[in-house]
Structure 1
Amino acid sequence: MYKIMFVDDEEQNLFLMEKIVDWEENGFRVCGIALDGSEGIQVFEETEPDVVFVDIRMDEMNGLEMIEKLQQKKKKAVYVIVTAYDEFSYAKKAISLGVKDYLLKPVSRTELLDMVRQIREELDMERKKEDDSRFLSRQYENGIFEKAFAALETGCLEKRDISAMPEPNAAIPGSDTAILKSNAAEPDSGMPGVDTAAQELDSVIRGRALRSYEMYSPTEEPGDLLYLVEDWEIEYCFPGYDCVCFISEEEKKDAVLEAFEELKSHHIRKKYILQVNRTFSNAEELIRGYCGDFRHRGYCFYERQSRVFFCSEVKTGEGQAYLSYGEEGEKPLRRLIYNGVPEDAIELVRWIAEYAKEQGSAPGGLADEMIGLLFLVKNELTKLYKDRAFLILRHQNVWDLHKLRTEAKLVSRMEELLRETGTAVKNMIENKGNYSLMGRTAEYIREHFADPEFSAGEVAETVHLSRNYFLKVFKEEIGIAFLDYVTDMRMEKARQMLKETEETVYAISRAVGYESQYHFSRKFKQRYGISPNEYRSL
């Protein structure tokens, strides 16, 4: 609903303007009235109306003078002048002041309604433009923060030695500013570099006192967490790898904490951790604070209850490196490696996690132990099955285990990876192509050999091998060269079509991957000793 005010030095005219139209029915609320221009300025500043109807002739300050003074103060509104006469001497001045329209007294209700509806439509359009612009601006700013936080997390994880992180209140050296390097591309790539990334952040922060938060759960994904915080008093919100990150103005901190407490009370059977980071008012403070707070991101790693913690209140150096449990890991892995049965390996993972909790091991050390376990599995599979095991765990970035915020989620992810590995081993043992390097290659060739541009390089890229190495492995495993294998497949399909369809030789040549009928016929005769037409007539 828009706000409207009236300025006229005759009270009966003000009364008439208030009552002549049902303003609320037409989308307006009368927010103020004034008896002269000076009072009109005062009421305007108190109420900030969207539309002003103002009489031209008033004793102390006329309507145009009032509009001019308001515009000098950068007060924006739709102005309509009201007069008893066609005072064209005022027209030029009114136009220069951007007056929307004018009404003649006595005011016609029909004319007023038509004007008000037109103004309402224009205001609606203007508001929509502003809303769209505001939305796009907010999306852009949100993206800047999301990109920066992802780069900071990656940069901090790459350092690995948490003791090397700058203290939150220490001056930040240039080398730590470069932790935004994930935002910086190679020279001439057209992507923003480190300095540009920091400048982008400053342009979004604009000197405001802001505070960042990270909320995570052992059972819910970032998308679910986004939904939970969408109505909180926050400025920016985006998903992290294993959490939802959001930023609010510092003055809204209490409101955020109250919203978290309400969330806890409504979901008592679930676990949520709210990490409260330090405030910042520029890019340098954000980077310094993030690196310092990163030391404490595992503070609630083993926590079993919902809680909130302030990074500034966590003691430095809590937790210790992972303490090795002193047993060989190969034995519990044998059923997984030889039979594709993951249960023993999963039980080992649970035992290691429980042991780490009892010993107070640092989360990073436990994550390293889990990564080492996966490397052991991969190495043993490669020794046993050689290239057939190439695809197992191939597409998993195991270092992402360091991004998981809770022991429960780390264990859950490990169980998922071990079960996937077990399925892959079983399918490989049973010679199911999807999990065999050559089986997958053969399947891909069957699906794409009819494409005239089909090549060895395309298949090699699909199975993540270099072209030369792929050709070598293919010949060793299949027994013939890749090109001969593809040609055999094309010729066999062509023979089938020649016998079972009435397609022309040209159409068949196209259907099996040859752009030239002459080239196809020559290859066919080399292979079978007769032409395609002669074969068809047999």
Structure 2
Amino acid sequence: MEKYKVLLVDDEAEVIEVIEQRIQWDDLGFTVVGNATNGVKALELVEKLQPDVVITDIKMPYMDGLELSRRLNRDYQNIHIIIFTGFDEFEYAKEAVHLEVEEYMLKPINATELSDCLKRLKDTLDREREEKLNVTRLENYFNAALPVLQNNFFVSLIEGRVTEENCGKFFAAYQIDMKGPYYGCAIFHTSEHHVPDGMNPLLLAMSVEHEIKERLATEWKSRVFSYLGNTLMLIELSSEDAIVQFTDSCDRFCKWAYRVMGAVVTAGIGRVCDNMANIKTSYDGAREAVSYRVLYGTKRAINIAELAPKEQETTLQPEDTRMHDLFKAIHLGLKEEIEKVVVNEIEKLHSNAQTVSQYNLAIMEMVGAFYRFCANNFLDFNDYLHGIQNPYETIPQMDESTLTAWMQGVSVELGEQLKNARNSTSRRLVTDAQNLVRERYMEPDLSLDTICSVLGVSNSYFSSVFKKETGKAFITYLTDYRMDHAATLILETNEKSYQIAERVGYLDANYFSYVFKKRFGVSPSKYRAQHTNQ
């Protein structure tokens, strides 16, 4: 075992020499690493040699032994100190008990007495070393287990099992540095049904997670972990609006993953929250966003906040959780799925009710859940009752087939209404973009990024909505609009091509001519000549 290091300090070189010669240092488990003739020199050697023990005289020039002890206690609390001194200073030295000196010894030094002192000191040092080793082992074990502990904590967060009161405590304990002020959750779903030939689906998902850590996690301050077969990303945001840029980053990643890896990845982005203890709401929104891939397609990012106004965000009441699958199907608006889920709900209703009273109560709770669902989506459930005056009395009297048909009809109708509302929102978004093009087409820097920034939506969502509504990409629409206006100016004015180019947002006349010819098949000058001669 490594021997403990000793530094000898005395202004008399003969005393140091005698101590070194008379003590069997190796047998006692020590080695002398240096000596000094005053306290100042001793401090220099302490910093350089890092001894375990300092044996020092009191009376020395420049800095005496007591001052040296004070400095050692302040700056090197792990060093043990033995003081030896003359008879006339002994009582004075003993009074300095606050220095926590290991032992005071009287000159001249007795080798046996000093050896006994060193034996006791070695026992103390051995115990301290063992304690340090135990602490080190615990720290190493904790650090090795820390990633697992952090992941378990994040799972507890998204499952809503961590209170706001305890959240900060766990952040500190698990060394998580996420100060916000805003947070969000993204879910990356890798399809198991679209896998490159010869590739294991699990291996593909692991590869996707690795790339998320390498590409997205380095761009955004975040934590990435696996949960229920998906890769989750908890992000820290400087502002609520930053979620738009994050959505675009996720969208670019999904497209890259398909192009390079052949992985069909859909990213669901939840709503922004201002407290990590509430991240479950963002996680629930991300899950819902991923489910919308059946409507909006895969290989892209879907931000739940862009699919419906923020005020439509709702939290299910405890009594509504049983109907979560039905309300989710209504949101998606798929008729066959809605009808299938209704059948399942009715079957559960009949199997769980043991008495007529229980059945009637369950039906009334179901009606109440429909009322709340409609209110949360700015609909009036009474508009969908089709003549039923008092649903709380009438619906419990329906037989199973009538109840099933009624619920299917109402649910499908609600799904269609929500789909129309989404389409109406999409059309308004496209109309706003077209109006912006008409107002600002002459600005050279007008682009997809500019439009999305003004409208407050991600590029991915806007691009998909715009193409769905107009049949063409936004850049194509903008270019066509500029070229059509340029063609009108060519025929109605005598301006030169470079002047017209500037009026429709092109600073480079040559590039303008190239784009114009691509659109109309001829250069601007030929276009003017052809139509002027007609």
Into which bin does the TM-score normalised by the smaller protein fall? 0.3 to 0.5
Which of the pair has more CA radius of gyration?
A: 2
TM-score of the two chains, using structure 2 as the length reference: 0.34
TM-score of the two chains, using structure 1 as the length reference: 0.34
Considering fraction of residues, name the structure with more helix. 2
